[in-house]
Every structure is written in structure tokens, then in C-alpha cells.
A = this chain, B = another copy of it.
């Protein structure tokens, strides 16, 4: 019998990574192409043709496999429509003054890729939802019916699962937990979404960096962080500094954990998950971020929820979660169909 494999694709701003994943979550072959070579609106067509060719090469490298489908995680992707809609960092108009409204940047990704792959089954969802499905099929959320995945990268993404199903909402765009308000919409930090005060302006690799710079302004203590300019600063430097008890780094984690913990207490009040699973660059800071987050979450939630929720690190953090997430989209549906037809 031929081995069944699902293709998982992760479309990032820099690279598009993809791999063939078996039922147990092993990536049996992987590769990537550049995304940022195809920056602009008119580059979308050559991009997807280049991608399709590379996918075919990878599939051809595994002669004894049956491809059960292609699952994609991408920013602003919609599972209902199969489209990527107005992604902030992909295929923008070359001229910033282009008069076409942003709203028309709609890419029929599923249809286009399926056509180039001879009618293969293709599914797409946003990257955080894909990560949550990866966690549900291959990671720490196996067997859970209600959990939330929070990805802490450049921004804050989320995938929320209730009653064993991903919450996509009526339009496919649910799960924008990074864009709830944590301070005034009038005076809070500016967000990439065009508004102010969003959670991700505080809780993300970028958010904690902003907090560190605010603290350099308000605190007078010495800190090795003061020698690093804003545009060279990476969130990773905060973990390194915290390990040496740098007061600004420690306070930045404390404040970031407070904002996240309070927001998670609200999320629990709404959906009451069994676990909250953290993933991504900032989550790599481990206890520096987990401890204050958990403490503030517990202190600030309703009595009925206290001590009930698990705050976990991703179970697929070390692996290519985005590839696994895309592949898990396909595997989840495939395995459910097998059970139904049994």
C-alpha cells in the first residue's frame, strides 16, 4: 500500500516553507522558496507558479506516496472562500499611491493552486488557526475539545477551538484575539491594523520591544539594553538580559505577562478552554513570560475558573509548526472521513 502523505505549506513574508507530513506528524521531506522575491501585486502569478513547480518536485521525490491533499497556513487566509484577502506583507501594490482600494487585493489561492496541481485537494486557513489544528492533531491539544492557541511572533495570532471545532466565525475571520483592546482605542499604542490599543501592540515580539523602550525612558537603572538601537533590537535579547537579571528586561516580561494574563482571563470568561497553548518567538522566553502570565491570569479571573486552566507551551514548538499545521488541516478532515465511512 502506498504511504499517505499530506503537503503542509507555510506562507511567511520571507519564505514559503513546505513539507510532506505522514499520519504521525513526521515531516518526511521538506523544501522552501523565497516569498519576498515576489513582493508585489503583479508577482502573485509567477509566485504561485514557482510554488506549484517546487511542490511537484517535492512530491516526485517521494515515489511511493499518495498525496491526500495540500493544506496551507497564510496570513489573512479564509477557509470558507479559499482566498487570501488583503495581506499586510504580501503582494502589495508597487506604488504606495496606487489608487486601487486595498479591498481589491484578493487572491484566489485555493483555486489557483489546485488548478496548477491538476485538481489536487487544497485547503487554506490563517497561520494561527493552522497552528491550532497542528496542535490538536499532532501536539499538546490531542484529545482536547476546548482550547486556545496563542502565537506570539511579530504579532499575536490565535486559534480558538470550541466543542472540538475551530471557531472560524460566520465569515471565516474569527480568532483575532491579538486585536482586542487592552487600553484606550483613542490613546493606546498604534497597531498595524490601523487602530490603537490592540493586545498585540503589547504582547508580541514587537510589543515587548516597545515596552522595553518605554521602560528605558521611565526607569533610570543601568541596563545593557540601553546600548542597542530600536531598529537592531530583537525580543531574544530580552531573554538573554533577563538571564543576567537585567532590571529592564525583567520588568518588560512582568508587564507583558500582566497584559497577556489579564487578556487571557477575559478569554477564559468567554470560552472557558481546558488549556491555553503558547507558541512562537516570544513564547521561547519560557518561564520569563509564562510565570507572570499565569500569575496575572489566575489572580484576575472569576472564582469559578481559578486553578482550572493549563497554560502550556506548544507540543510542536521544535518542529516546523506551520508546515505541520497546514498538513494537519488535511489530516484532520481525512481521518474524520475515515471514521464516518467506517
Contact = CB atoms under 8 A, between A and B. Distances in A.
Instruction: Provide the main secondary structure of the chain A interface.
Output: loop
Nearest to A300: B185
Interface stretch (A6-14, A57-65, A241-249, A302-310): A302-310
A167 B271 contact: yes
A272 B171 contact: yes
Q: Copy number of this protein in the oligomer? A: 2
A308 B85 CA distance: 16
Contact of A165 (B163, B300, B302): B163
Contact of A145 (B170, B175, B180, B273): B170
A194 B273 contact: no
Interface in A147-189: 147, 158, 160, 162-163, 165, 167-177, 179-181, 185
A267 interface: yes
Contact of A271 (B174, B195, B269, B302): B174
B177 A167 contact: no
A262 B185 contact: yes
Interface in A295-336: 300, 302-305, 308
A266 interface: yes
A167 B162 contact: yes
Given A145-B170, A176-B272, A270-B270, 5 more contacts: A144-B170, A163-B167, A165-B165, A170-B273, A195-B300
30 contacts: A76-B304, A85-B304, A146-B170, A146-B174, A162-B165, A162-B169, A163-B163, A168-B272, A169-B272, A170-B308, A171-B272, A171-B305, A171-B308, A172-B272, A173-B272, A174-B270, A175-B270, A175-B272, A176-B270, A176-B302, A179-B269, A180-B266, A180-B269, A181-B262, A185-B262, A193-B302, A193-B303, A194-B303, A195-B300, A195-B302
Nearest 9 A/B pairs, CB to CB: A169-B272, A174-B272, A170-B274, A180-B266, A176-B269, A146-B170, A163-B165, A162-B167, A179-B269
